[in-house]
Amino acid sequence: MTFADPWLLLLLLLLPVIGWRLARPGKTGSAVSTYPDLRLTMARRRSARPWLAQQLPWVRLPALALLIVACARPQAPAGVREIGGAGIDIMLVLDISGSMQAEDFKPKNRFTVAREVLREFISNAGANRLGLVVFSGKAFTQSPLAADHQIVSQLLDRVHIGMLEDGTAIGMAIATAAHRLEASKARSKVIILLTDGVNNRGEVDPPTAAEAAAALGIKIYAIGVGKEAGRRCRCPERCSGRAI
């Protein structure tokens, strides 16, 4: 067991002093000491009290000791549980640009369908770690890599169109996801990109971002969202793409 604030345990050294003070015969004041009869009456009253009531002052010592220990915040390690899996770290990258509101899948729009696809993927991801990046004119990490898929799914539910400035910064989205995977020790690192447009924003273009990701051993799978032909990420051959 460890303590978050072990220095507070030094207060336990004061308990013997407090006990010594309690053990000293009590003085009732000069007014009482000058009247022997009154002192005798008070002594008789004290002796007439039940034994338990006489011990109450001493109960303060263990109570105070427990209070001091509690303030020091004792902590016991809960143990470490290893979760076995396929050893794959996956960053999900979702386009939330304004064009994702197009209702190609009436009555649903592209964004709704893409989010449903990701939600189903998350529920069947096994023990692999997942993360989530959203992008439009800028890219943003909505969820870092996590083994708790429920948290990733909850963070996905909070995503909405308009939470970032409009545009389609595919290169920045790939770069952001690759940065999250850079320090990963997984045997396989993957980016799954869902977008409906062509890169038109950001300081990094998709081919450069894809080349950098490939250098880190990251595979990219681009999925075009929409019924119109040709709506795919313009990445190098290392990026395989298909349409929903």
pLDDT tens digits along 13-61: 887 887 777 766 554 444 444 555 555 555 555 555 555 555 566 677 7
Domains annotated on the chain, with CATH = 2-75 (no CATH), 88-243 (3.40.50.410)
Q: What is the mean pLDDT of the chain?
A: 81
Cα angle 176-181-182, degrees, rounded to a multiple of 5: 95
pTM (global) more than 0.75: no
Query: Which residue is associated with the tokens 């009482």?
Result: 32
pLDDT classification of 155: cutoffs 50, 70, 90: very high
Kindly state the percentage of the chain with pLDDT values over 70.
74
What is the reported pLDDT for 55? Answer: 58
